[in-house]
Structure formats: C-alpha cells, structure tokens
C-alpha cells in the first residue's frame, strides 16, 4: 500500500511537472500557479486561497492562472510539501509539525502554552522580528513561508472522560500531530501520545483505538469528531499557525512588479482567512453544543502550564537561536496576558 501511494505521488509530480514544462496547454501559454491544501471548500483556508486566486488572476491574468486544489487532491500535506520543494506545485498549506522536520526553528511554535492569549499570539505572528528568522529558515530546502494562517487554539477532546487536570489524561491514548515536541508534551502531561494522520482520526476514535485527540473546535463539526467525542476542554495548550509556503525558484523568478502583486496577495490570504476563521469557529461551537451535544469545559490552565515548562527549557537550551524569538513572544505575553473565562 505504501509503495502504491509513493508511486501515485511520483506520478502526480511527473504529471504536474510536465504541465509546467509543456507551456500549460489550454491556458494560452499562461503560467499555471498550483496551490494545494487539505481542507474542504467551505473552510476559511480555502476561502482565503480563493480570494488570492481571484486577486492574482485579476491583476496578472495576462501571464498567470492560479488554481487551488482542496481536500488533499494533490496528496497529503507531507506529499504537497515535497511537491512544493521540487516545484511540481508552487504553493501549499503546511502544518507547523511538518515544517519542524525541515527546520528546528519551527519547533518554537509547537511549544505548549507558548502564547498567553490570542492577542499575544496574533501580535507575535504579525511581528517580522519574530517570524522572519523562522519563515526564512527552510530556504535551503527549496521553499519559504510567505504568510501564516490562524488555526485557532488546540485543546483536548475525549470520548467519555472530561479533562479538567493533567491527572485526567493518565492512561488515555491521545492523537497528536507527528512532531517530537507534541509527543513530549503528552508525556509531560501524563497521557500516551498516538501520532497519526488527521484523516485517520475519526475511525480511530470510533473504534476505540484512541481515547481522544487535540485540535480546534472545527474538528468537532467539519470532521465529525464531535459525533464521537462529547467532552472538549479549553486547556489552550497550543496556538499553532498553519503556513503558506512557496517554491523558491518560482518566487525568485517573479519580476519586481509581479513580486509586489504576489506579496499583496499573501497579505490578502492572511486577512481573509483570519476574518473567516472567527466566523467559522463561532458557528462550529454553536453546532457542537446544540446538535452534537458536546460539553465544553474550562479547566484551570495553571497545572497544565507548570507540567510543560521543562519542555520550554529543553528546546531553548538545545537551540539557542530561538531565545531572542522566545523573549519577543514573552514581551507580548506580558502586554496581553492570559484570558480568564
């Protein structure tokens, strides 16, 4: 099965590359710009990328045609990052956990309880002195981050045990993203980390392979997890951005005038996605409470934070280049402290 999937990825890369190199038949010689992501067509990410597509097609339609491929049509996120590396596609949305495998600088965003509040998170992510050393750290890998997308707060949700303290996680198998930082977080909190692809989570919950997962509210509704999990605990352990990455060769091949238009497009993606995210989360929470009958809990965050502090110290001692970035985030945390329910 793995060999078949690998063959499919190679075939996809070959087909896309041929389309690029052959002059893009059917588009009048215009350069096709392909963007892939793993969300549905009603997700804020797709809405934002569609706005980007429309903007670039309007401004540079004589030379470029942007195409957006949702719902993993071009493969998993890992597959799409590899396709972006090679230039088979031009952009994709990547999770921070995947990017951490290419650059240890991304490790900082996976630190649990890094941001004290949503305001501290947003101000930090909008500060180039914080993001530039991270976004540019994958250039040797063939791609660069061009903007960030709000993925909300990640919280624990479980099938039949409410999580109100770290002790409640003991003995539970919790799906986490495939990141060393996330695995260590679960160890410190007392749970058993079970990394797996996001597409496998619903079946794993339904068949009791895992006891719970951690994600934002939209996983309950858009992915049906709230049909199985009836407890959602706002421990707010992570505010981790998704990242729009672009192939370096494509970006560097743009003229200065084209580059300016694309930069404006990146800013549009960020703005539209964040606006749509707020609306989508509100609707998801309402549906989860009233239709799926999910119970929302607001535990004291303090014992969770204290349990995970050794991970902060470990990461910073291992990668000292992150210390100035961490200090910059802490300054925003002081300015925008933890929200209380």
Tens digits of per-residue pLDDT, 310-327? 999 999 999 999 999 999
What the block records as the tokens of 172 is 């539970």
Residue, of 123 and 339, whose pLDDT is higher: 123
pLDDT of res. 20: 45
pLDDT of res. 267: 98
Q: Which residues of 37-71 are buried (b: 16+ CB within 10 A; e: fewer)?
A: bbbeeebbbbbbbbbbbebbeebbeeebbbebbbe
- Edge-first strand order for the sheet with 192-195 is 192-195, 173-176, 212-215, 154-158, 231-238, 295-297
Residue, of 65 and 21, whose pLDDT is higher: 65
Tens digits of per-residue pLDDT, 198-252? 889 999 999 999 999 999 999 999 899 999 999 999 999 999 999 999 999 999 9
Q: 178 by DSSP, 3-state: which?
A: coil
Tens digits of per-residue pLDDT, 89-141? 999 999 998 998 999 999 999 999 999 999 999 999 999 999 999 999 999 99
pLDDT of res. 216: 95
Residue 180: pLDDT over 50: yes
Q: What is the mean pLDDT of the chain?
A: 92
pLDDT of res. 179: 81
pLDDT of res. 178: 81
- Rounded CA-CA distance 333/117 in Å is 7
Which domains does the chain carry? 7-151+240-282 (3.40.190.170), 154-239+293-335 (3.40.190.170)
Residue 27: pLDDT over 80: no
């Amino acid at each position: 099965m793995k060999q078949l999937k690998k063959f499919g990825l190679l075939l996809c890369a070959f087909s896309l590359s041929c389309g690029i190199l052959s002059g893009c038949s059917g588009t009048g010689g215009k350069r096709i710009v392909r963007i892939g992501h793993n969300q549905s067509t009603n997700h804020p990410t797709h809405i934002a990328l569609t706005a980007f597509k429309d903007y670039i097609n309007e401004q540079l339609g004589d030379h470029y045609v942007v195409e957006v491929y949702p719902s993993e049509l071009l493969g998993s996120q890992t597959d799409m990052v590899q396709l972006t590396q090679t230039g088979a596609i031009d952009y994709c949305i990547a999770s921070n956990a995947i990017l951490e495998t290419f650059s240890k600088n991304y490790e900082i965003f996976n630190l649990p309880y890094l941001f004290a509040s949503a305001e501290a998170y947003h101000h930090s992510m909008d500060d180039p002195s914080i993001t530039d050393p991270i976004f540019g750290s994958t250039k040797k890998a063939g791609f660069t981050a061009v903007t960030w997308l709000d993925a909300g707060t990640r919280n624990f949700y479980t099938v039949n045990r409410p999580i109100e303290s770290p002790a409640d996680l003991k003995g539970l198998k919790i799906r986490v993203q495939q990141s060393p930082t996330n695995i260590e977080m679960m160890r410190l909190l007392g749970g058993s980390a079970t990394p797996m692809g996001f597409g496998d989570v619903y079946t794993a919950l339904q068949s009791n392979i895992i006891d719970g997962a951690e994600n934002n509210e939209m996983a309950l509704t858009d992915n049906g997890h709230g049909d199985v999990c009836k407890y959602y605990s706002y421990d707010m352990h992570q505010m981790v951005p998704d990242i729009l990455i672009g192939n370096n060769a494509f970006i560097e091949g743009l003229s200065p005038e084209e580059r300016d238009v694309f930069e404006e497009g990146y800013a549009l993606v960020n703005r539209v996605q964040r606006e749509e995210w707020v609306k989508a989360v509100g609707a998801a929470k309402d549906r989860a409470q009233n239709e799926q009958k999910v119970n929302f809990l607001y535990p004291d965050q303090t014992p969770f934070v204290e349990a995970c502090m050794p991970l902060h110290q470990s990461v910073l001692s291992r990668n000292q280049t992150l210390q100035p970035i961490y200090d910059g985030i802490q300054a925003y945390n002081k300015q925008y402290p933890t929200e209380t329910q």
